[in-house]
Amino acid sequence: MPQEAYNYDTDQQNQRTHCEFSTTLMGTACEGPGEVRYAGVCVCVNHALLLALEERTNTLMSVVLSLDRLVEAPDPRADDLRLPRLKHQIREAEYQLRFSRLELDLARMQT
């Protein structure tokens, strides 16, 4: 192998970073390559997916809570279809939340 090619490979390996996710469920540091930048942190693909799913799940929980509050606080100016629409949106958000939690559980088992 030519010397230049060897140095190039070595330099690339030295520049690679490890995943900066703090610890896995096993209590050890992730040793995956830091291939993805997520929220300013260099993490492996699996941890980037996990973080994205956690964020999505938290957002969906906030949506469900916000919609619940709207249902509990009737608006006298609203039309007759407001309540059925809100209840439909809550059911849809709850369905998405259940699916997101399932995806999150699966992602946690893989990391």
Contacting positions for Zn ion (CB under 5 A): 19, 21, 30, 32, 44, 47
Residue with tokens 């849809």: 92
Residue (31 or 72) nearer to Zn ion, CB = 31
Helix axes 45-72, 82-110, angle to 10 degrees: 160
Closer by beta carbon to Zn ion, 46 or else 100: 46
- Half-sphere exposure (Cβ direction) of 66: Cα atoms closer than 13 Å: 8
Q: Which is nearer to Zn ion, 33 or 70 (CB)?
A: 33
* Least distance between Zn ion and beta carbon 47 (Å): 4
Task: Give residue number: closest CB to Zn ion.
Answer: 19
Distance CA 10, CA 41 (A): 24
